[in-house]
Chain A
Amino acid sequence: MTAGLEVFIVLVVFLGLLAAGMAIPFAIGVPAIVYLLLHGGVPALKGIGLMSWGSMNSFALTAIPLFILMAEIMQHSGLSFRIYRGLSRLVCVIPGGLLQTNIAGCALFAAISGSSVATAAAIGTVALPQLIQRGYHRPLAAGSLAAGGTLGILIPPSIAMIVYGTFTETSVSKLFMAGVVPGLLLTGLFMAYVVVHSLLRPEIAPREKGPQNLAELGQALADLVPFAVVIGGTMGSLYLGWVTPTEAAAVGCFAAFVVSAIWGKLGWAELRAAMASSVMISGNVLLIVYTAFVFSYAISVAGVGEDLTTWMVKLQLSRLEFFFALFILYTVLGCLVESLGMIVITVPLLYPVLLKYNIDPVWFGIILVLFIELGQISPPIGINLFVIQSIWDGKLKDIVWGTIPFHLLMFVLLIMLVVWPDIALWLPRHMSAPP
């Protein structure tokens, strides 16, 4: 059997199991084992133990469960409600009212959460009942939350960036900093769109009143203080080079614990729930990462990466043509494969090719994260669509329609990043080196 046919069979098995409803980590792991058996027989399995230990005994990956724990502590202590309350008073004066609060709230929550699902769920749960009660345009309300949630993996910390950094041995600190400007730019694009849309069609969003006096303004600002402390503690110390990403995550857990004890409701029950939730989310993410290492091991045993690189180089595509091919590949994959699955299946294969084209791995990491964001709001499996669907009484079709303008804005940002790579690369150049 040729190497190409083997890869084809394995990818078909993977997509088949995934679409049929098998749990994602197993849907990656089973074809990887099949591939090892197809290529090298039983002896090829002997390296699994060493490979598993070597890949999971990783200091860089440690940041994942700790960032998850940080966000879960904040969420279980009820502080995500305070973000929305504070921002709804400050931001709702902009045309679009609470729709603007959705996006700003997601951007702020994204700065303490590394996951799009957590961001969409945290803000969506608080926001949707109020939006529906006040008569906001339903598809746009749901769409802004699903799309706003995707900021969770672009604005640091980001689980997707940690995984990408681990697989490509790219600095996670640099990736985090590279996500800041594109994340803020995308937030700005989303908010500008809502302004324009609500000025053209005022019926989509009722006019809201901002703070009526200094006391209300002070209260709104006070609601944001816990987040400023946690975000400042984690991202600030990372930018200044005082800590590594893993240490920043530990600082974040400590800061989240302290601010939740002071400003939130953090008793034993909430802490236990936050811990249980963190263990389950971490277990899920880390098993996907682990099985991806098995998959990566399988393709390296078979030498497929080198074959693919040679084949791609022989095609003599220009940089722009290569990027266009990636654009098509990831747009299609985003509709079929879950976010982390997309990184872990494609990056080990494509990374050697990127190096041949002299593509900056930090820049490509941000591009990849944007593609993943697109996938998260693309039917039929865009996970954020289902997160929002699970917390409102509307139709999935309405959420999908509501996200389309945000899709287009993400494409605009993608083009901007291709034309001006410094949007992503400027900030990492100015950060201090980690200890």
Chain B
Amino acid sequence: MSSATESRPLDWLERVSLWTSAVCMAGMTVLMLAEIVLRGVFNSTTEHSDELVGYLLVGVSFLSLALCQTRGAFHRVEMVQMRLGPRGQLVSSLVFNLLSFAYIAITDWYFVQFVMSSYRREAMASTVLATPLWIPETVMIVGATLLLVALGRAILGDLRNLFA
């Protein structure tokens, strides 16, 4: 089993993926610490931290995926791969990337349907903030679309290498 990460400089897609996810992660930490201090020291609460932290987790979960894909951070079992020749590895990589692309494209399509439905219904969080839900939900579309771009690039790279 392995997950290989590369050390080349980040391109625009990776920078967007890294920094948006990092901001979400830092935001989660700050919100949680603020909640602890408010509760412990001032016997008060932000009242919004649970809600906002949930949104930020969705951000980390989906926005980080493009970076994980391009940097080879997803774990995989290499039992069979190690026994394949270079061409076999290329073909299997192409097949896996195509399947992954199809899976994420289907998911992304239903994310779009879901967010549009929230927008049309003017769905709002049942909290004090009453956040219009389509706003945080859109992060799922952005993250999945960035991942699709990363997978599309990988497929093109596989095809180039296969026919080179």
Contact = CB atoms under 8 A, between A and B. Distances in A.
Interface in A38-79: 45-46, 48-50, 52-53, 56-59, 61-62, 65-66, 69
Interface string B21-42: 1100110110011011001100
B92 A287 contact: no
Contacts of B106: 33, 45, 48
Interface string B106-145: 1100110111010000000000000001001100100000
B103 A29 contact: yes
Interface in A375-393: 380-383, 386, 390
A251 interface: yes
Of the candidates B2, B3, B74, B115, the one having the most CB atoms from chain A within 10 angstroms of its own CB is B74
A23 B96 contact: yes
B46 to A, nearest CB: 12
A281 B74 CA distance: 8
B151 to A, nearest CB: 9
Interface residues of B, number: 60
Interface in A221-272: 242-243, 246-247, 249-251, 253-254
A35 interface: no
Interface of A is mostly: helix
Contacts of A18: 77
Contact of B57 (A65, A284, A338): A65
Contacts of A282: 21, 25, 60-61, 64
Contact of A275 (B25, B56, B74): B25
Contacts of B68: 280, 283-284, 287
Interface in A185-210: none
Given A23-B74, A23-B96, A62 B28 contact: yes
Contact of B103 (A30, A284, A390): A30
A39 to B, nearest CB: 15
B53 interface: yes
Contact of B58 (A53, A246, A383): A53
A350 interface: no
Contact of B99 (A30, A45, A49, A62): A30
Contact of B28 (A65, A280, A286, A386): A65
B99 A22 contact: yes
Contacts of A109: none
Nearest to B75: A24
Nearest to B55: A57
Interface string B65-84: 10110010111111111000
Given A24-B74, A279-B25, 17 more contacts: A19-B80, A20-B92, A21-B92, A23-B74, A26-B96, A48-B110, A52-B107, A56-B58, A56-B62, A58-B54, A62-B32, A242-B40, A250-B33, A279-B17, A283-B64, A284-B73, A286-B64
Interface of B: 1-3, 5, 17-18, 21-22, 25-26, 28-29, 32-33, 35-36, 39-40, 50, 53-58, 60-62, 64-65, 67-68, 71, 73-81, 92, 96, 99-100, 102-103, 106-107, 110-111, 113-115, 117, 133, 136-137, 140
12 contacts: A17-B99, A24-B75, A33-B106, A52-B140, A58-B57, A59-B53, A62-B57, A69-B29, A246-B32, A250-B29, A286-B64, A383-B75
